[in-house]
Amino acid sequence: MFDSLAEKLQATLADVRGRGTLTEADVNAAMREIRLALLEADVNFKVVKSFTNAVKERALGADVIGKLNPGQQVVKIVSDQLTELMGGAARDLTFSPRPPTVVVMAGLQGSGKTTATAKLARYLKEQHGSSVAVAACDVYRPAAVDQLIKVGAQAGATVYEQGTDQDPVKIAAWARDRAQSEGKDVLIVDTSGRLHVDQELMAELANIKKAVKPHDVLLVVDAMTGQDAVNVAEQFAEVVQFDGVVMTKLDGDARGGAALSVKAITGKPILFASTGEKLDQFERFHPDRMAQRILGMGDVMTLIEKAETAYDQDQAAELERKLRKQEFGLDDFLEQMRQVRRLGPLQSLIGMIPGMGKELRGVKVDEREFDRIQAIILSMTPQERRHPELIKGSRRLRIAQGSGTNVQAVKALIKQFEQMRKVMRQVAQGRMPDLGALMRQAR
């Protein structure tokens, strides 16, 4: 996410950083690079102009020129300005004191509304413990209702649908009444994709809004959108005065300049980011963190939050006990591996670690390697898992055959495990490396 933009800004500013003082020519050169990078990142050209002008003005101010390390200050100015542009602190949905809280999803065709609807339902269920219903109001796209029935159920939401013959405005109103009578906390209304220039469908959207009186209207925007994002956002803002934005497809390599543009032009905050095809790949959008990330400073906060939701406190305590008593076996190792994988694809985790973005660019994580390790461990008896030192010739052969791997793979895994166990023992005995220092180094 935004990797290339971060790289470009870093390269430009590294150049500035190397010098003692900043001349106006330096600032101009840096601004030119930033301008190009932002245009390449699909930030709207009007936004690019105001952004670079603002940065330039601040960079040329007296508090930079003549200071000991002006380069670092330019980085800070760009970062501050970017944070400002992205919208300050994160914002949440508006929850109604009298349920159901109603949310309407709107957007262009193919921006990912139906998927985002299900993801939001799952998110609210998991994070807020809400009982959620989703309403299928996309009666135009073939099989859109079927899709919502499937993904809605996967998300653990009740799906309200009346097929495709009803008027979407009526379905929405009916769903709202039903959500109220069934005591749902949240109702999310999925609408059909529509072009911002389609007057008839835009009027329909306005009528849906009137019928359900939503607490939030969310505009779903594809992160790959180009300059046109501004047009789309302006038109939707005019007709339905949406309250916030969901950015989708942020797991691709699009630099997502649309996020900057939409925020800057409409002033509406981006509330959520959708980062994959799985229903749990959905998170709150943190503008301040995102600005740090654009500048290549990593996204440690998101990583920590992910870890917190995936890890079970009791399990962690049990693990600590085992480590102390030196009872850590392959079973525990497998459990650890599963927990890490629950955080999401390793590839996307790596992107969140400060300093890793660039260094690990070419590195592909082979997720199947984990499947092989899992297969090997599962082919062992419980006793073998606790005492891998028992595994010799014939056991090794049996495990290799059972897991569909070979003897070398089994041998290698056990060897790695023994080494790991040694390190863990040291850690448990109090020789803990200073994690804070490690982090600072990575930065």
Partner 1 sequence: MFRRLRENLRKTRQALTSEIQATLFEDLSDETWERLEEALIYADVGAATTAQVVGQLEQEATSGSISGGQALTERLTELLAEIARTGDDRIDLTPEPTIILVAGVNGTGKTTTVGKLAWHLSKELGQTVVVGAADTFRAAGVEQLEVWAQRAGAGFVKGPPDADPGSVAYDTIAAARRDGADVVIIDTAGRLHTQDDLMAELAKVKRVISKQIPDAPHETLLTVDATTGQNGLRQARLFSEAVPVSGLVLTKLDGTAKGGIALAIAKELGIPVKLIGIGEQLEDLRPFDSTDFARALVTE
Supply 214's token pair: 């939503």
Which residue type sits at 265? I
Residue 224 sits in the site that holds partner 1 (CB under 8 A): yes
Q: Which two tokens stand for residue 368?
A: 């199947």
190, exposed or middle or buried, with CB in 10 Å at 0-12, 13-18, 19+?
buried
**In the range 260-289, which residues lie near partner 1 by CB under 8 A?**
277
Q: Which residue's CB is nearer to partner 1, number 307 or number 350? A: 350
Determine if 321 is a binding residue for partner 1 (CB under 8 A): no
Closest CB 86 distance from partner 1, rounded Å:
18
For residues 400-438, b (16+ Cβ closer than 10 Å) or e, as one string?
beebebeeebbeebbeebeeebeebeeebeeeeeeeeee
**Contact with partner 1 (CB under 8 A): which of 11, 14, 89, 143?**
143
Of the pair 108, 132, the CB lying nearest partner 1 is at: 108
226: left (phi over 0), alpha (psi -120 to 50) or beta: beta
In the stretch 233-262, what mask flags binding to partner 1 with x, by CB under 8 A? ----------------x-xxxxx-xx----
CA distances from 199 to 136, 169, 236, 239 (A): 21, 16, 11, 10
CB closer to partner 1 out of 212 and 220: 220
d(CA 409, CA 387): 18
Nearer to partner 1, 56 or 385 (CB): 56
As beta bridge partners, residue 102 has 187
Nearest CB to partner 1, comparing residues 102 and 258: 258
Q: By CB under 8 A, is residue 146 in contact with partner 1?
A: yes
Residue placing its CB nearer to partner 1 in the complex, 125 or 278: 278
Residue from 129, 142, 362, 436 touching partner 1 (CB under 8 A): that is 142
**CB closer to partner 1, 147 vs 379:** 147
* Closest CB 42 distance from partner 1, rounded Å: 3
Task: Read off φ and ψ for residue 91, nearest 5 degrees.
Answer: -120, 150
Strand order, beta sheet including 101-107: 158-160, 132-137, 186-191, 101-107, 216-222, 244-248, 270-274, 282-284
Among 101, 117, 147, 403, binds partner 1 (CB under 8 A): 147
The answer to whether 358 contacts partner 1 (rule: CB under 8 A) is no
Q: Which of 283, 250, 50, 277 is nearest to 259 (CA)?
A: 250
Q: Is 140 in the site for partner 1 (CB under 8 A)?
A: yes
AA letter at 139: V
Q: What is the C-alpha to C-alpha distance for residues 42 and 15, in angstroms, rounded to an integer? A: 24
Q: Would you count residue 158 as binding partner 1 (CB under 8 A)?
A: no
Rg (alpha carbons) of the chain, rounded to whole number: 26
Q: Which of 195, 317, 420, 438 binds partner 1 (CB under 8 A)?
A: 195
Our finding on whether 40 is near partner 1 (CB under 8 A) is yes
Q: Applying CB under 8 A, which residues contact partner 1? A: 32, 35-36, 39-42, 45-46, 48-50, 53, 108-112, 140-144, 146-147, 149-151, 154, 195-197, 222, 224-229, 231-232, 249, 251-255, 257-258, 277, 364
